[in-house]
Every structure is written in structure tokens, then in C-alpha cells.
């Protein structure tokens, strides 16, 4: 069992673990990435709450990165969680 997700203040990220093929993979996502992707119109959003509300989508992004060859720890960037194209 992994520890719960948490905000790592020195790096400005939320750190968390995702189960990928029965292995827990450590990952992180920046507070700014969370804000601009999920709450761009808010000024008081909490990165841990935002992560928790979107954990399924964020976890899927980690799985895609691992499938593409990324190794632990996976650092998600803006393009990993960009919104789907409009249309």
C-alpha cells in the first residue's frame, strides 16, 4: 500500500502513486499544471483537492507515459493532461 497523495512544497508538485500492471509507480504533477488544466478561472484552488477530483484522468496519463517508455518517477507536464480537442 502506498501513502496517500501529498503536496511536496519544495518542488511545487503533488506526488502520488498509480498502479500500472500490478506495480505502484511514483509520479508527480505541478501545482501550476493542475491549476491551468482544471481550474484556470479560480484563484484559490487547492492542488491536492484538484488532483483528487481528477485522479482517474491523471492516473491514465501516467499509464500512457509508462506505456510509452517513461520510468519512475513520472513527472506529468502540461501536454500529458491537455484537454481533448474541441469539435
* Bridge partners, residue 75, by sequence: 28
On the question of pLDDT at 62 being above 70, the answer is yes
pLDDT of amino acid 84: 75
Sheet holding 6-8, edge to edge: 6-8, 13-20, 23-30, 74-76
- Answer whether 20's CB lies under 8 Å from 9's CB: no
Q: Which CATH class is domain 6-81?
A: alpha beta
pTM exceeds 0.85, yes or no: yes
- The 8-class DSSP code of residue 68 comes to T
- Answer whether 73's CB lies under 8 Å from 26's CB: yes
What are the pLDDT digits (tens) for 65-78?
Answer: 999 999 999 999 99
- Answer whether 18's CB lies under 8 Å from 62's CB: yes
On the question of pLDDT at 63 being above 90, the answer is yes
Amino acid at each position: 500500500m502506498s501513502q496517500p497523495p501529498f503536496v511536496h512544497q519544495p518542488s511545487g508538485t503533488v506526488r502520488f502513486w498509480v498502479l500500472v500492471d500490478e506495480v505502484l509507480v511514483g509520479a508527480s504533477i505541478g501545482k501550476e499544471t493542475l491549476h491551468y488544466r482544471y481550474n484556470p478561472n479560480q484563484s484559490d484552488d487547492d492542488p491536492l483537492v484538484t488532483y483528487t477530483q481528477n485522479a482517474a484522468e491523471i492516473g491514465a496519463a501516467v499509464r500512457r507515459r509508462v506505456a510509452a517508455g517513461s520510468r519512475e518517477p513520472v513527472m506529468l507536464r502540461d501536454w500529458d493532461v491537455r484537454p481533448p480537442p474541441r469539435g
